[in-house]
Structure 1
Amino acid sequence: MTDLHHPTIGADALAKLLRNSAETVTLLGPDGRVRYEGGNTEPTLGYESLASLSVEDLLHPDDIALYRAARLEVLSAPGAEVHGEVRVGHRDGGWAWVEFTARNRLDDPDLNGIVLTTRNATDRRRSDRLLAGTAQVLEAIAASRSLDEIVDLVRHLVADQGDVELAALPADVSALAEVLATSSFSAAEEASRLLGLARSSHRVASELRRRALVDDLTGLANRTGFTEALRRHLEGPRRPSAVLLFDLDRFKQVNDAYGHSTGDALLERVADALRRVVRVGDVAARFGGDEFAVLCDALDPGDPEQAAAAVGRRLALALNNATEPESHLRIAASIGISVDDGTGARWRDPEAWIADADHAMYEAKRRGRGRVVLADDTTRRAVGERQRTEVGLRAALDDGSLEVWCQPIVRLSDRQVVAAEALLRWRHDDGRLRSPAEFLQVAEDSGLMGAISVHTITKAIEVAAGWPDRSDLAPVLVAVNLSATQLLADDLVAVVQDALRRCQVQPGRLVVELTEHVLAADVDLVVERLSELRDLGVSLVLDDFGTGWSSLQMVRTMPFDAVKVDRSFIAEMGSDPVADDFVVRIVELLRTLGREVVAEGVEHEEQMVPLRRAGCEFGQGWLFGHPVAVGAFAETYLGVGALGEVG
């Protein structure tokens, strides 16, 4: 029976076995010359036989030192073993990578030499280099390296396979892609894939960067893009230049009345107008919403402020002419301008420069909208004043210096006080009272309106709870005027409910007054909030009717109990028959719609005649009483039966 563990084969069979092995076994003498070879070296090196050749004669010059060190190590002791990889010359002049294991068998009398086992490592080395090169290219793509850098890595990846010299591969991405598509290089397919991935990634990255810097709707720069452009401008040669900042007057009303598609169309018209006004080298941007900016570079050095103001006027005119095609709405804007004289003395920070233009824009709005205002010491002082006002308001909410005053509202038939309008006043340290017109806009801008709303509503309800009962008369109502921000606050209804419950005041004694401008906010949300207040039992009044944009149709559809006719209509009554007739018609129409009517600003007896003739039920004004502090209201106005008459 054959011993499978120790088979015996002949010399010819052994030679055939070695020739068909992936490895070559070579016996070297102590001098490094080949004494015996077993296996086929021709596929790897192109030689039929290595007999009598010295190993060093075959090695790459850069690998001879490695070989000599390995040889010394393996000769150091019987049984020593060394592993490594070297390049061996191919007969055709190329180089093949060979991995080797050398074992010292000088103590074996049958061998008396170094047994060298070798294997062709060229394909594996190529594969390893391809994998390493691929990983390097992928890392570069992931790190968003430039396309030129990635192309250079791909070129090295191809050249490292040994099929082509690096210099023969074009550095242009398109040309390289074409070469790879038509070549038979071993790495061409992988290199083409990587190059395609890099180009695709670069396009995506470019698009993402474009989107990060460009406004999608208008195609103008966005705030980030504008700020980057401004930073580059400040880092370059300084020239007289200006930042213009503007937003569209009453744009929110357009959105609410006509829809966001019309609003977007209007914004696109603004962008078109901007492109017509700006010059080559200028930068136009949309910051978001209806806010736009322009960097005007290289202004007239003789008078850069006038040059910037002229650009602002041209812009205002272009905007005014840019009507929205479907609604035919004309565009108006408040424009603030901040000028840099080019000396580099003022602006070094883009955000500070933008803020200066923003302050000028705020001043343009304060002066009546549709204005062009240059930033100067006055606008900058106004910024300081607004900051001081904000700080003071925050303190006033804590120290009680925000006071509620009341002015009577009377029934015209007998001048009996039926209600009081709660008016907010801010008492300064010097004792002076500031009206809401002086601080409410700052409160809106600084986010204090919510706290002020809670304070005013709570104080007004507390005041009403303290008024004495009048046995034969209905309780006096208290009216509170709310802005859009206050009305649309999420917690408004909860605040009202809490104050009414805590003070034990019936909801019907509270009246909420809203100006026409409040209706220009989110109409659906306004109607929802008004309905919630009505369901609670609170009365609703439309204030300052005739000064805004509301129509009788709006009055009819909104859940108002009463309408206050603005004082501007009442002022000429009693002295101008045309004014008398006009107000009479307004009152008649409002009464036809089922609304009670209050005349504001009644100051003279002569005004009473046409108001009574029109059927106006209620009035408010100095004829009936000035505002007084809440503590004095009951004594001043609730202790008499009829104002102006002794009860």
Structure 2
Amino acid sequence: MKDLLNLLKKTGIFSQLTGEELEILAGNSELREYGSEETVFETGDPASELFVVSSGEVSVSRITEEGKSLQLARLIEGDMFGELEFFQREAHNASAKAGANGSTVLLQFPKEGLNFQDLLSAYPAISARILHAFISLIAGRIRRTNNLITDNSPVIQELKRQVYGDTLTGLFNKTYLDEQLHTFLKNPGEPVSLLMIKPDNFKWINDNCGHDAGDETIRVLAGAYAEELGERGTAVRYMGNEFAFVFPSLDRNGAHETARRLQELVGSLDLSAVTGSGDFRLTASVGIAVFPLHARDAAALIAEAHELPLLGRARGGGKILFPEDKEAAGGS
């Protein structure tokens, strides 16, 4: 009985009960010993008890659609499990078994042969306090989960960095532009310019200096672009040596002027440390698509701008093109 009382006192939903109430609870609980890897319950079993680990450990797992066992949790001394299904009177949605290293002892409430509904009727005050503690426990879990998944939480920021970050440059990647550009396009009355820039003669670096030199050049470009943009726009390494820039509130004329400055920036870069020669200079072509002038959704806006730098290179390089320049030999 003493072991039961000590364990109940340490368990969250029982810790606020009085000594007398804990003794009643202990009298309706029991300690059960399980052998190595012995099953506690299976998926689909009725949840007629809740458990607390007294000693040893418990593995909770579920079978995936592929038929493989997926471990959801490893529980140790003091951990409670099965309580959610128990209080909701649902079947278990996972299986639990004792650990593989020796025996495991679990507190089981209520003990074998007792029904929780009967205990509710026999001890309404205790039952009400336990249920209130359970509701508080669940509410606390929800609050912690909500805090965990807020946009500004460190966990979510790290996940976003991994999903949307380009490992070579530290800029955003193609996935970011494909999935998040739509968030910039909420007001049809406010222009958003998408610029996509690609060096015309980048192949010379890869062919003559190697792909490591090509990667280093991409890093140099990324650093220069980020410094030039500051807080005015969002820079993305889109594909290979092609970069994209999103500029809220920038109209057609402003986008053209920005593209011209970016071309000048590319042409001014000193790549002698990469190429071994101070004579080589990059040139670049830029494609521009403006929302809602050229497209009214993100995918279409990207499609309009993405093909233009290659077209600019085919026309001799150093071009700034809009979608309307595709048919005629236009552009600047």
Structure 2 length as normaliser, TM-score?
Answer: 0.55
CA distance in 2: counterparts of 1:43 and 1:207, whole angstroms: 43
Q: CA deviation at 1:373?
A: 2.1
* 1:296 aligned residue: 247
Q: CA deviation at 1:268?
A: 0.9
Q: CA deviation at 1:358?
A: 2.7
**CA distance 1:240–1:95, change in 2 (3 Å):** farther
**Does residue 374 of structure 1 match 2:302?**
no
- Give RMSD over aligned pairs: 4.4
Residue of structure 2 aligned with 1:219, choices 159, 164, 170:
170
**CA distance 1:318–1:169, change in 2 (3 Å):** same
* 1:309 aligned residue: 256
Runs of 4 or more, structure 1, over 6 Å off, are 42-45, 159-163, 167-173, 202-205
**CA distance 1:230–1:249, change in 2 (3 Å):** same
Instruction: Show CA shifts across 1:420-442 (max 9, x none).
Output: xxxxxxxxxxxxxxxxxxxxxxx
CA contact (8 A) 2:201 2:282 kept: no
**CA distance 1:131–1:227, change in 2 (3 Å):** same
* 1:121 aligned residue: 29
Residue of structure 1 aligned with 2:268, choices 309, 321, 339:
321
* 1:330 aligned residue: 281
Q: Which amino acid aligns with 2:310?
A: Y
* 2:312 aligned residue: 364
**Does residue 285 of structure 1 match 2:236?**
yes
Instruction: Show CA shifts across 1:480-525 (max 9, x none).
Output: xxxxxxxxxxxxxxxxxxxxxxxxxxxxxxxxxxxxxxxxxxxxxx
CA distance in 2: counterparts of 1:298 and 1:217, whole angstroms: 29
Q: CA deviation at 1:296?
A: 1.4
CA distance in 1: counterparts of 2:187 and 2:85, whole angstroms: 39
CA distance in 1: counterparts of 2:193 and 2:158, whole angstroms: 30
* 1:257 aligned residue: 208
Matches within 5 A, 1:69-84: none
Identity of aligned residues (%): 27
CA distance in 2: counterparts of 1:352 and 1:227, whole angstroms: 11
Instruction: Show CA shifts across 1:576-600 (max 9, x none).
Output: xxxxxxxxxxxxxxxxxxxxxxxxx
* 1:542 aligned residue: none
Q: CA deviation at 1:203?
A: 7.3
Instruction: Show CA shifts across 1:285-339 (max 9, x none).
Output: 111211111111112xxxx222111100110111111222412442211111112
Q: CA deviation at 1:276?
A: 2.3
Q: CA deviation at 1:257?
A: 0.7
Q: CA deviation at 1:374?
A: 2.7
Q: Which amino acid aligns with 1:121?
A: S
**CA distance 1:240–1:249, change in 2 (3 Å):** same
CA contact (8 A) 2:206 2:213 kept: yes
CA contact (8 A) 1:97 1:125 kept: no
Q: CA deviation at 1:363?
A: 3.3
CA contact (8 A) 1:130 1:161 kept: no
Q: CA deviation at 1:348?
A: 2.7
Residue of structure 2 aligned with 1:210, choices 161, 175, 184:
161
Q: CA deviation at 1:229?
A: 2.8
CA contact (8 A) 2:172 2:235 kept: yes
Q: CA deviation at 1:237?
A: 6.3
Matches within 5 A, 1:55-134: 92-93=20-21, 96-97=24-25, 120-121=28-29, 125-127=50-52, 130-132=80-82
**Does residue 266 of structure 1 match 2:178?**
no
SS state at 1:127 partner: strand
Q: CA deviation at 1:254?
A: 0.7
Matches within 5 A, 1:492-511: none
**CA distance 1:166–1:204, change in 2 (3 Å):** closer
CA contact (8 A) 1:44 1:120 kept: no
CA contact (8 A) 1:265 1:324 kept: no
Q: Which amino acid aligns with 1:361?
A: P
Matches within 5 A, 1:510-521: none
Structure with the higher helix share, 1 or 2: 1
**CA distance 1:265–1:345, change in 2 (3 Å):** closer
CA distance in 1: counterparts of 2:316 and 2:4, whole angstroms: 91
SS state at 1:280 partner: coil
Aligned pair count reads: 225
CA distance in 2: counterparts of 1:291 and 1:310, whole angstroms: 19
Matches within 5 A, 1:126-165: 126-127=51-52, 130-132=80-82
CA contact (8 A) 1:96 1:122 kept: no
CA contact (8 A) 2:184 2:192 kept: no
* Structure of larger gyration radius: 1
Q: CA deviation at 1:228?
A: 2.4
